[in-house]
Amino acid sequence: MSELSQAQNLITPKNQIGLIGLLLCAFSAPLIMPLNIIAISQRFIDATNGQIGTIATFETLSISVASIILSRIVNRLDRKKIFITAAILVILGNILTILAPTLNYVILARVISGLGSGAIVATVVATIARGSNAQMTFALLNSGVGVMGVLLPFCLPIIIASNGMNGAYSFHLFISLFTFLFISFLTLSNGADDNQNTVSSYKGYAGWASMMGTSLIFLGHAGIFAFSAKIGATLGISVIQVGYVFMAGGLLTIFGPLLAGFIGQRFGSLFPCLILITILLVTGIILANVTSALIFFIVVPLCGMIPMILTPFFLGGMAKLDPSGSLAAAHPAFSTMGGAAGPVVMGYTIDMAGFTSIGWVLIVMVLVGTPLISLGLIEADKIKT
């Protein structure tokens, strides 16, 4: 057994269930941002695409801020206390969103919820990255996202059609209450007492370059995908039909990450990530220029699932570079940084030049981000576990 494997402990099935369930319940609103945008735009009908995108940007930016802070200190704190405090913030943010009378109050409420979601996702990712079965656990996590990707698009369009934005965020509130159930499943040591802290953190630059590349890729993806429902509306596709399209993507996402987990354990991270980024580029450009409902139905599930399948490969590589988990814990911050910028950048780009223009933004993000991502993954694939 290698030194890396000896330094890491196995994540038990009970802890896997607790960690995955906790993250999914805290993250239901960010997971289905396009439908939330539809619900908010129906409530505030005079708002521009840029203004609606700003709400998504502030929420994801708050997730990013909480993630980057927690990624630096999580190993020195009691993780259960982090989870409990963060879950309260998520629930409070959802309640305040329901009560919000104006767009500015919606932004404030989503920031509060985002801070809680970011703290949870960073702590969950850091905990998983410290396990010897990290890559497969990340695969299971993203398959869980696929399950939510079926549940949310099935329920939420019906709720939005009957009860609007308040109904949508009442549903998110209901889901977030289950965070406390999954916290009760967890048996975790204090970060300060964890003997794995004897493993030195990653001191190189390639891993952080990969994080910056991820941020750019997620900017392109989040920006296009956030407005996919509005693109569908221009083709006469209803919000309920868009929900069914997202469900199809969710089904793909259930099995894709599991396959990614097996492939990554055998063939490394770099090549699969490059293939997935290429698929993202092609489907994103098609989506930005789509004129056919049939093509929309095909490319949206493919485009939507890419981050969920790419993440196990990427985080598996980052866990190799930094067995302490701090590098992987920073991933939510960098990915949501891009996700934060994406909706507002694309929203104002659409306002100025129409939907087709956002395809060019995606091209630039991929051309700059892909070489950066490759730097860390090349280094990770050289490490034997």
Mean pLDDT for the chain?
A: 82
pLDDT at 385: 56
Cα distances (Å, whole numbers) of residue 376 to 5, 284, 299, 316, 339: 20, 25, 29, 11, 21
The Cα 67–Cα 75 span in angstroms is 13
Q: In this structure, which CATH number among 3.30.420.40, 3.60.20.10, 3.30.1370.60, 1.20.1250.20 belongs to the domain 20-192+202-381?
A: 1.20.1250.20
DSSP output for 68-102:
HHHHHHGGGS-HHHHHHHHHHHHHHHHHHHHH--S
Tokens read off for 316: 């598996």
Using the predicted structure, report yes or no on whether residue 160 has a pLDDT greater than 80: yes
The single-letter DSSP state of residue 192 is G
Distance of CA 91 to the CA centre of its chain: 19
Q: Which amino acid is at 143?
A: S
Average pLDDT rounded to a whole number, residues 169-191 = 87
CA distance 256 to 307: 11
Alpha-carbon gap, residue 200 to 122, rounded angstroms: 19
Among 111-115, 180-184, 221-225, name the one with the lowest average pLDDT: 221-225
Q: Would you list the DSSP string of 310-363? A: HHHHHHHHHHHH-TTSHHHHTHHHHHHHHHHHHHHHHHHHHHHH-GGGHHHHHH
pLDDT tens digits for range 366-375: 999 999 999 9
Give percent of the chain above pLDDT 70: 89
Indicate the pTM of the whole model. Answer: 0.72
Query: d(Cα 123, Cα 116) in Å, to the nearest integer?
Result: 11
Note the pLDDT of residue 278: 92
Of 299, 326, 304, the residue nearest 315 (C-alpha): 326
pLDDT: which is higher, 268 or 296: 296
- Domain locations along the chain: 20-192+202-381
pLDDT at site 259:
65
**Which of the listed ranges 191-200, 224-233, 260-269, 332-341 does the model predict with the highest average pLDDT?**
224-233
Report, as an integer, the average pLDDT of 52-59. 81
